[in-house]
Amino acid sequence: MKFRIALAAAATLVLAACGSSQDASTEAEADTVEVDADAALEGVDAAAVADDGAMAEDEASEEASAAEAQQIQEAGDNAADTAAAAMDAMAEDSAN
């Protein structure tokens, strides 16, 4: 009997905790933030501006990416060679 009462009380608390959290303070905070952001952007010109240097950076990063990919490939090859040598050494040790 006590178990049923405890279970009913727990279920009631769980359902009460699932209630809505919409109160006036939460809504007021969002409005305040939006108003401040809008006020800060009033004098900003939203026109797009061409950036001539943007493409140069992309080309340089592509060249760096190719060099980096080569270094990664070499490091992977070296790791594979080291692992193969270690396996050979272990095979020799177990054979003796």
- Cα 79 to Cα 91: distance, rounded to the nearest angstrom: 18
Residue-wise pLDDT for 81-93, tens only, equals 999 999 999 988 8
Residue-wise pLDDT for 50-80, tens only, equals 777 766 666 666 777 888 888 999 999 999 9
**Amino acid identity, position 65:** S
Q: 25 is written with which tokens?
A: 């303070």
Task: Among 13-22, 27-36, 87-96, name the one with the lowest average pLDDT.
Answer: 27-36
Query: Could you tell me how many helices (H) and strands (E) the chain has, helices first?
Result: 3, 0
